[in-house]
Amino acid sequence: MRLAPYIAYLKKSFLRKSAYRFDHLMSILSTCLRIFIFWEIYRTLYGTRQEVDGITMAMVTTNFILSMGLDVVFGMDDNFIPGKIHDGSIATELLRPMSIKGRMIAENMGSSVFKLIFHFIPALLIAQIMIGILPPASPMMFMCFLISALLGYGVMWSISFALQMLSFWVITTWSITTLKNVVINIFSGTMLPLWFMPEWMDRILRFLPFSSIYFTPVQIYLGQLSGAEILEKCCIQIIWILIIYCVGDILWKCGQRKLVVQGG
């Protein structure tokens, strides 16, 4: 498989994002506002207490700063396939001598690289100056954090890919995408750190893919997992990527067989 076309799409996606400077300035402001709002909420909840169930305010702050930052970087174009089915351009895309799934990955990665450099890092620096964030437990843990975050990105992309395939059977995927975003925000540890979840719910969430997106990388960053546990968590992330991708690929193949395009 030639990589040049996909790299070209990655660069095109990156440059397209850079054209809207005001938009990405507003995105930085939006991320910072979310961080400060959550910081004020948890600061009020903690009050004068140094920790709750062994979880310090600094750990909570680090969790939502990193989770919200990764949430910005992991933002997916959930309308890629639905939009092309709606306007009929999916027929042209299927005729191209390249994988449409590869193009989806390339364009999402181009956008994610841009948001990492121009959204996440500036917001992280502002949060570090204004609030403060714990450093990684060790250089090795930081490297493992980066690997786990990349796998978390894979889980998020696979979920987006599988849900987009439903557009072959439904008129609009807006409600599905909205539900997906709500579920991920709640059960991935972004809004409420999973440390504070009831024990019975924590046992359930261990077998779901959502905690693999943000919470697992944060746990590694804070040094809460041993070497064996890190390997186990990363294997769980890989398994979820494969499972969800395979489901999406089946839907993709079935969808192509029932696709009918009129006009376009």
DSSP conformation letters of the chain: ---HHHHHHHHHHHHHHHT-HHHHHHHHHHHHHHHHHHHHHHHHHHTT-SEETTEEHHHHHHHHHHHHHHHHHT---TTHHHHHHHHSTHHHHHHSSS-HHHHHHHHHHHHHHHHIIIIIHHHHHHHHHHT--PPPS-HHHHHHHHHHHHHHHHHHHHHHHHHHGGGGTSS--HHHHHHHHHHHHHHTSSSS-GGGS-HHHHHHHTTSSGGGTTHHHHHHHTT-S-HHHHHHHHHHHHHHHHHHHHHHHHHHHHHHHH------
Q: pLDDT tens-digit profile of 121-146?
A: 988 899 889 888 999 999 999 999 99
At residue 261, the pLDDT reads 61
Phi and psi torsions of 177, nearest 5°: -65, -40
Residue 151: predicted pLDDT? 96
Which tens digit of pLDDT belongs to each residue from 142-195?
999 999 999 999 999 999 999 999 988 887 888 899 999 999 988 888 888 888
The stretch 225-253 carries a mean pLDDT of 94
**Which segment of 42-46, 68-72, 204-208 scores lowest on mean pLDDT?**
204-208
pLDDT at 264: 47
pTM: 0.91
The average pLDDT across 240-261 equals 88
Q: Of 23 and 31, which is predicted with more confidence?
A: 31
pLDDT band at 1 (very low <50, low <70, confident <90, very high): low
- Per-residue pLDDT, 138: 93
